[in-house]
Structure 1
Amino acid sequence: MKNNRIHHILLSFLPLFVVSCITTSCNKALEVTPKYILNEEKAFRNDSVAALQLAGIYSEFASSGTLSYGIHLDLSFITDDMEPLSYQAVPGSAGYVLYNYQLRPIDAPTNDYWSNFYRYIYYANSIISGVDASTGMSAAYKKQCKGEALAWRAFFYYYLAAFYGPLPYVTDGNYAVTSHFTRTGTDSILNYCMTDLQLADSLVSEDYPTTGRFHFNRAAVNALLARVALTKGDYQEAINAASIVLNDNRYALATLNDMFNASSSETIMQLWNQYNYSSVGQVSNDPGTTYGVTHDSNGSLYNAFDENDARRDRFIKQEDDGTGTLIFVNNKYLNNGYDDSAPAEYLVMFKLDEVLLNRAEAYARLQQNEKALDDANLLRQRAGVDNLPSSLNGQALTDAIIEERRKELCFEWADRWISLKRNKSINTVLGSFKPGIWNEKYMLFPIPLSDIKNSSLIQNQGY
């Protein structure tokens, strides 16, 4: 056990050096193979060195503010869940621009998702090809390393497709070729993601490769596969993948207070950091927060909860903004980095409540109503509210589960945005919540202008 712990600490800290190499190597969105693994023979000469290349993705993603808290909180501004406060509410600020959909290709706050996610995809592609070519790695770790890289590639393509629609699908590191790629349809991108994840499922171990739940194992791969399959509309595959996780007795629903704890039984995969708290919690709980939760209006998140729903007071905090005005802020992560007595929490990528909701929605769309209600009601019971009516069926049942997602998964991984699009209710919901502001064209973000100029890509309509 001691050796395992040392191995984990090594993999957790050494990537900080790797990141210093990574972050200076890529300035284009569709970039060349990162410099730190240009020499694949050396980078993948044995298991230990190969592990460092893979750890670079985990480390940089976990330490990036834009990509760790941005995808949770910034992208809640574009839904009906959050509103900008303080300087974020000033015209021209990032929060104001997102909330009012004033995205310009030249400087949109969303541009980082395109450029950074493609950069990570190049890292994953380079790892996959490096592992395949390696003659010094063990057979077992070649499988695990490749499986994790495939899962990461699927993760980033999934979000790129959700944000930008059709886009270039790149599986190698040759920028001279890929800079001329045309856009691949969203359904095809999701199919590629599912193919990667199905292959990863056959490669990664049931167990985590290090101490803690910090890497893709089979359960984490299937949690992501269920997410992708649900978005794709392959409901049986979503049920199958979710059931693999839900049938694994290592995972169980935790209390609402413990759901993000470092040792939570609900966690399927988390991102380690040396500070023992999530940057999402740090930003959202800062007394000077600029991230407000929508409230006291028709369709607001705070009003969506029943009065006796324990999630409302657990996930949303009311506080004085210093001027006597009551504001509502995100309280999902309890450890904000300021209180040494707070429990250790890590940024959670996949946890059991989402998997239950993925399967519940898939069941509902296949008209397996009783099973759908059973899964959704487990979360309502934890929250202390009555079960959903047993008479619910059809679209009404699907809508009710989408509403459960909104409450259960608020401020997590842009879930509200993606769920509204998947349910084809985004125009109705956001058109009602932001009348005169919302326009259907905003369902896709603009592609950064620099990448339009340096490639053969055509800008998304309306920008």
Structure 2
Amino acid sequence: MKKKLNIILSFLLLLGVWSCNEEKWLTEEPYSFYAPENSYSTVPQLKLSLNYLYNELRTFFWDINGDNAVFMHLGDIAYGGTDFPDGKFNNTRTWLVPTAGMARTVWDRAYRCIQNANTIINRLENSAAGADDKAFIEGEALFFRAFWYNYLAIMYGDVPVYTEEITSAKTDFVRTPRKDVYTQARMDLERAVTLLLDIDKVDDGRINKQAAQHLLAEVYISLEDYAKAIETASAVINHPQMNLMTSRFGTRANETGDPYWDLFQYNNKNRKSSGNKESILVLQYEHRNSGSPTGYNFLRQGFPFYMDIRVYNMADQANPEVVTPTVPATEGLFPISLGGARGIGVIHPSDYFLYDIWGTDGTNDYRNSPYIIVRDFKISNQQAAGYGEWYVADGHADLLKQRNPALYNAYMLRNFYPFIMKFGRTDNALPDDVLAKNSDGSFRLNGLGERVFIYTSMTDPSANSSLKDEYLFRLGGTYLLRAEAYIKSNQLTLAMNDINALRNRANATPAQLSQINLDYLMDEQMRERYFEDYRIMTLLRMGKFVERTRKHNPMGHNVDDHHNLFPIPFSEIERNRDVKWENNPGY
């Protein structure tokens, strides 16, 4: 009996051991597939995660096919050519509300990227990366985290800040004061500057020390530390590998143009391929690369819908003929001289930008030259009245205005306004698979002998993309940041010198000391960097969105006093059920 009892007890003890280890032996160990436990552990995995952050940044600025992205380009520089006068993004009062998608556009992407950056930083220490790789990877991840916290602070004010990887549901976030959000961005960037390499030591398009310093100078301004902003911007400006491009350079230097025009030509953005020492951080485009499927889509949203313009037969006053002046509409071909894009006239530049800010310099300012802002075009449709003539200079636009003012006004709203050619596709070296061809493989030409792009669908790069790398930061912007810090610290002569460095390069009349103030600076920002980034961010950061939109946008009457901040998305307030949030004032 005793022996039998011992056997039973031994069996129960063994069963207890098995029971204690049940959770362990039921747990899967991922040897042959990726899971949270074994990801972010090798250099290739960590770099792949960084590539995701690069792609998120590129997509954020380039994929502007949605209405919310269009809104980010408005303010004092533009308004909506569609939904005019009071629809959609032309009515900030109804567009910018907590329950609308506009409130979430940046919020969701920013926190998605912050979570990814936190994961990289938190797991880096226990990874297999060596010391050099760890420094570079941490520096890039810190830059991205700082970039998005800076954006969140600019747009929303007080927002949650967290620097640890979140691995489970959390409903008790606390909104951090705006100044402390900027401080987190400052700390991240100050450390990133110590880890990143100089611009001449990294591949084109990679985060570098000068890019981190450029962004850090902006953050210092937001923190009202103007001395640090000046010091940091000066470190970029005075770096031996940085210079404003004041002479002709690059792939089209032997053609008619100027140094500012050269900055935006095909293959001229990256310093290693063109010698461009003004570029700081360039977003990269690789044609037909599935990992980088989009280019900058400003051509679709920002170019006029010119294929639908009509002209009268000037010789036949009794029976006016109305035909398409560019190309037959049914063929869907778009001439290279007009950027080659199928514009739809959504982002209409404001009259203040197109005409007022250039003053007496007019087109003598290289940034407003006929090469970079095209204000007229030749009628290339051989079936059109006036074939081979200029639409404006030869009187076709005026004739339409005289005979049918209502139609003329409609055309001027969406179908014809100046072309912003810094993003246009005017280079014959562009990929030939986006150009129309004849059956024998030769390039198809329009009536003026120009190559033409063919439109296949709105998602194809032949229709919308600039097909080029594009700047995120360049040195002209750093000069403007330093000038802003000089103005805010009452060093107006030094601010004037920085502004005039840009104006001298642009062949513009030098600014006078009596002109220097923040409004003049914001006009100069517009002249120098128009549509290179989201204008609304500069206006919000400087607290000027309401004032300048009311003053310079024809739909400015739809802007309310509280619109210098975006609303916190209502869905985020609902989700954060364990800590009550009040929305920003006015929402």
Confirm or deny a common fold (TM above 0.5): yes
Q: Does 1:461 align with 2:581?
A: no
Amino acid at match of 1:228: V
Cα distance in 2 between the residues matched to 1:55 and 1:355:
26
Q: Does 1:58 align with 2:115?
A: no
Cα distance in 2 between the residues matched to 1:252 and 1:332:
24
- Matched ranges for 1:30-179 at <5 A: 39=36, 41-45=38-42, 47-64=43-60, 73-77=70-74, 79-86=75-82, 88-89=83-84, 92-93=87-88, 95-98=89-92, 102-134=95-127, 136-174=128-166, 176=168, 178-179=170-171
Alignment counterpart, residue 284 of structure 2, candidates 262, 265, 272:
272
Q: Decide whether aligned partners of structure 1 residues 317 and 84 sit closer, same or farther in structure 2, where only a CA change above 3 A counts.
A: farther
**Secondary structure of 2:176's aligned partner:** coil
Amino acid at match of 1:75: M
Tell me if the contact between 1:281 and 1:333 (Cα under 8 Å) persists in the aligned partners. Answer: no
Cα shift readout 1:124-179 (whole Å, capped 9, x = no counterpart):
11111121232x10100101100111011110111111111111112122264753
Amino acid at match of 1:89: F
Q: Decide whether aligned partners of structure 1 residues 63 and 391 sit closer, same or farther in structure 2, where only a CA change above 3 A counts.
A: closer
Q: Does 1:331 align with 2:327?
A: no
Partner of 2:24: none
Q: Does 1:349 align with 2:472?
A: yes
Once the two structures are overlaid, the 10-residue window that deviates more, 446-455 or 361-370, is 361-370
Partner of 1:386: 509
Aligned-residue offset at 1:426: 4.2
| Structure label with greater radius of gyration | 2
Cα shift readout 1:110-137 (whole Å, capped 9, x = no counterpart):
4221111111111111111121232x10
**Which 5+ residue runs of structure 2 have no aligned equivalent?**
1-32, 246-258, 271-275, 289-294, 304-341, 377-390, 392-396, 401-406, 432-465
Amino acid at match of 1:96: N
Amino acid at match of 2:176: T
**Secondary structure of 1:224's aligned partner:** helix
Cα distance in 2 between the residues matched to 1:37 and 1:409:
43
TM-score under structure 2 normalisation? 0.64
Aligned-residue offset at 1:351: 0.4
Aligned residues: 414
Cα distance in 2 between the residues matched to 1:256 and 1:411:
15
**Which 5+ residue runs of structure 1 have no aligned equivalent?**
1-35
Once the two structures are overlaid, the 10-residue window that deviates more, 363-372 or 121-130, is 363-372
Partner of 1:305: 358
- Matched ranges for 1:20-39 at <5 A: 39=36
Aligned-residue offset at 1:330: 5.8
Cα distance in 2 between the residues matched to 1:90 and 1:397:
32
Aligned-residue offset at 1:268: 0.4
Amino acid at match of 2:551: S
Amino acid at match of 2:175: R
Partner of 2:481: 358
Tell me if the contact between 2:543 and 2:564 (Cα under 8 Å) persists in the aligned partners. Answer: no
Cα distance in 2 between the residues matched to 1:81 and 1:413:
12
Amino acid at match of 1:345: K
Aligned-residue offset at 1:423: 4.5
Alignment counterpart, residue 197 of structure 2, candidates 202, 205, 209:
205
Cα distance in 1 between the residues matched to 2:188 and 2:34:
22
Cα shift readout 1:35-65 (whole Å, capped 9, x = no counterpart):
x9853644222x2332111111112332356
Cα distance in 2 between the residues matched to 1:154 and 1:265:
25
Partner of 1:402: 522
Aligned-residue offset at 1:74: 2.9
Partner of 1:4: none
Partner of 1:22: none
| RMSD (CA atoms) | 3.1
Cα distance in 2 between the residues matched to 1:372 and 1:419:
18
Partner of 2:220: 229
Tell me if the contact between 1:251 and 1:265 (Cα under 8 Å) persists in the aligned partners. Answer: yes
Cα distance in 1 between the residues matched to 2:541 and 2:229:
14
TM-score under structure 1 normalisation? 0.80
**Secondary structure of 1:429's aligned partner:** helix
Partner of 2:313: none
Cα distance in 1 between the residues matched to 2:500 and 2:70:
27
Q: Decide whether aligned partners of structure 1 residues 328 and 38 sit closer, same or farther in structure 2, where only a CA change above 3 A counts.
A: farther
